[in-house]
Amino acid sequence: MASRSSLSVWTLTIPLTFLLLVHSVHCFNLFGIRPVDFKKGDDLKVKVKGLTSTKTQLPISYYSLPFCRPNKIQDDAENLGEILLGDRRDNSPYEAKMMEFQLCNIVCRITLDEKGAKALKEKIEDDYMVHMTLDSLPLVRPIRIFEHESPFTYQLGFHMGLKGYYPEEKAEKYFIYNHLAFTIKYHVDTQSNSTRIVGFEVQPFSVKHEYKGAWKERNTRLSTCDPKWKAMVLNSDGPQEVEEGKEIIYTYNVDYQESDVDWPSRWDAYLATRDDQTHWFSILNGLESILVISGILAVIVWRIYRDIFNYNDLETQDRVQKETGWKLIHGDVFRPPCNSDLLCVHVGTGVQILGMILGTMFLAILGLLSPCNRGDLITTMLVLWIFTSLCAGYVSARLYKMFNGTDWMKIAIKTAFTFPTIIYIIFFMLNALLWGQQSSAVVPSWAMLVLEFLWVGISAPLVFVGSYVGFKKEAIEKPVKTNSLHRQIPRQSWYMNPISIVLIGGLLPFSTVFIELSFSLSATWLNQFYWFFGFHLLVFVILAVTCAEISIMLCYLQLCREDYRWWWRSYITSGSVALYLFLYSMAYFSKSLEMTKLVSVVLYIGYMLVASYAFFVLTGTIGFFACFWFTRVIYSSVKFD
């Protein structure tokens, strides 16, 4: 048993250690990114990020391909979330001066060897996208899905090349986008007289540049792109082919456009969606489900109220003859379940996940998280996960003591290591696959050590503190006494067997979230913008209410059939939403993704298994507490002898 002095030392050293660790890994700026004011002629530094592909899901480093390089490659300072996502930024040779138009700037000339040509062809074949940033804004390519009058949509990054045919040839050729026409949008604040960047767009072209005379680096006069002779790149009629021995000249333009969009609203255009009606349909669909279940529950509550009133009013009659259904099993309904330790661990972990999700959504809705960097979101979730470890330890210990447990250290150890160990093992194996493919998304060994320290050095001790406090509390009082002998459970109907109940219990809650789930999967696996936490919060509340109501309804039906084994059943019933989530992710994979490598498929399945398991723990906890509250209320309202 740990002494009070050791616990007090933990409570003092953990916050200090964590603050030092956060400082060492350049933790996120909670209040977003501060605006930067520019003056005419100020240097603008374009930064490059890793190349991504929806076909392979294997990000690669920008400079692993034969692209132009600066004199010295410098990595940006990264927070832990960026490292875990493989979201890294390097400096680039693309430079500009604020408000100074630049036309046909030569970056460099590269002659492809066999290895370089093969690498470019492979990446073009796999639809790799190039990503850049300027002033923390991602580079986007405005495109129209329909005709001229349709609004622009923004594609995150641009394809590094394309495949095509020459009119006189039948063989397929590969062409690279080697000319970039940048458009930098800026806003002038008349009150502060400041100029800020509010947009960063590009139109890529494939151009086979030509020049006369000797090559003079950036001073070479190109006949295909020369502002003096008004030779501008307007299309890709003469594209640059990718082939061994071919010479590629990389060029770019920089144009400026004044915008009415102010700096705080510069992300609105990127995050604007034309699918608002779809989101609202998802919410209305969930509300309809809640109304239907609420109507059924209203009938159940009225029936329970009538039973309780009639039962308690029988002072002179034989109550044994009147005890039917759920009242018959009052001496067994709070009997500790099998594997009660495992149930306590999962309920405590579910509370931890719930606290992390609600905290993250709350900060995002308040605008304290910036969409400029997805790493901030991951870092925030990691920080909240660590500090909600106190809640996990407290809840698991309280339940453990109610189940007549005596060793709080044992339940604390299980709570601190069961769920994280499973997640860490899967994550480690997936990271090993990324390392074998030489992907830029590989989490370095030092970052893995940092995760282990956050887990073992901070999160686990906080679980112990929470468990110690929770176990010192009085045990949760049961409304009725538990008999010493088990009551025999009658034979159940086929529709009340565990498999049927579980499948029914997860289907309806899943129907309330599957529309929003498709947006989340697209944002994760198709590199699409998605930052609608308001919709997410509404759908999450609907999901929680639906899980709670369906669990209560099925729990009541189970108790009426004199089956008192509701503890695990209530957890698994609502947790089965995760089964439908995983099946839906497999359907989404076959319909919307075109992964060409076995490693990519394994990565997808691995990450979706992690997400589904976490979803199971979360929704299972919601259903468990709903049934726990329901059974305590109805059995405490009856006067049993």
Residue 508: its pLDDT value, please? Answer: 84
Confidence of residue 432 (pLDDT cuts 50, 70, 90): very high
Rounded Cα distance, 284 and 292, in Å: 12
Q: Rounded mean pLDDT of 82-99?
A: 86
Q: Rounded mean pLDDT of 296-303?
A: 74
Pairing of strands 129-130, 140-143: unpaired
Confidence of residue 416 (pLDDT cuts 50, 70, 90): very high
| Nearest Cα to Cα of residue 211 among 245, 249, 241, 238 | 249
Rounded Cα distance, 279 and 424, in Å: 34
Q: HSE, CB side, 13 Å, CA atoms: give it for residue 55.
A: 11
Buried b (16+ CB within 10 A) or exposed e, 21-39: bbeebbbbeeebeebeebe
φ and ψ at residue 36, rounded to 5 degrees: -115, 125
| Per-residue model confidence as pLDDT tens digits over 210-267 | 888 888 888 888 888 877 766 677 777 788 999 999 899 999 999 999 998 888 888 8
Residue 310: its pLDDT value, please? Answer: 66
Q: Report the share of the chain in percent with pLDDT over 90.
A: 40
Q: Is the pLDDT confidence value at 56 over 50? A: yes
Say which DSSP state 578 is in.
H
Q: What is the residue-averaged pLDDT of the chain?
A: 83
Residue 30: its pLDDT value, please? Answer: 36
Place of tokens 């002072």: 315
Show the DSSP H helices in 38-113 as ranges.
Answer: 80-85
Q: Is the pLDDT confidence value at 274 over 70? A: no
Instruction: Give pTM, 2 decimals.
Output: 0.84
Rounded Cα distance, 364 and 133, in Å: 22
Place of tokens 């953990």: 14
Task: From residue 635, give the alpha-carbon distance in Å to each of 10, 107, 329, 559.
Answer: 41, 77, 10, 11
Place of tokens 């592909």: 53
| Per-residue model confidence as pLDDT tens digits over 284-297 | 766 777 777 777 77
Rounded Cα distance, 7 and 469, in Å: 10
Lowest mean pLDDT among 189-198, 424-433, 449-458, 570-579: 189-198
Query: In 388-493, where do the E strands start and end?
Result: none
Say which DSSP state 455 is in.
I
Task: Report whether 138 contacts 110 (CB < 8 A).
Answer: no
Residue 148: its pLDDT value, please? Answer: 57
Residue 149: its pLDDT value, please? Answer: 60
Q: In the chain, what's the furthest Cα-to-Cα distance?
A: 115
Q: Report the share of the chain in percent with pLDDT over 70.
A: 85
Task: Report whether 421 contacts 398 (CB < 8 A).
Answer: no
Residue 115: its pLDDT value, please? Answer: 93
Q: Is the pLDDT confidence value at 278 over 70? A: no
Residue 285: its pLDDT value, please? Answer: 67
Q: Rounded mean pLDDT of 336-359?
A: 94
Domain boundaries, the chain: 42-271, 274-322+506-632, 339-476
| Per-residue model confidence as pLDDT tens digits over 543-592 | 898 899 889 988 888 888 888 889 999 999 999 999 999 999 999 998 88
Q: Rounded mean pLDDT of 389-407?
A: 94
Query: Quick one: 302 exposed, middle or buried, by C-beta within 10 A (0-12, 13-18, 19+)?
Result: exposed
| Helix, strand, or coil (residue 69) | coil
Rounded Cα distance, 323 and 190, in Å: 79
Question: Which residues on adjacent β-strands are paired with residue 226?
Answer: 231
| Helix, strand, or coil (residue 420) | helix
Number of residues in the chain? 641
Task: From residue 251, give the alpha-carbon distance in Å to each of 120, 177, 185.
Answer: 18, 10, 20
Task: From residue 130, give the alpha-carbon distance in Å to each of 63, 135, 163, 472, 516.
Answer: 11, 17, 16, 56, 28
Angle between helices 389-402 and 340-365 (to 10 degrees): 150
| Nearest Cα to Cα of residue 539 among 556, 563, 520 | 520
| Nearest Cα to Cα of residue 125 among 606, 594, 635, 451 | 594
Residue 4: its pLDDT value, please? Answer: 38
| Per-residue model confidence as pLDDT tens digits over 589-629 | 988 888 878 899 999 999 999 999 999 999 999 999 999 99
Element (H, E) at 499: helix 498-511
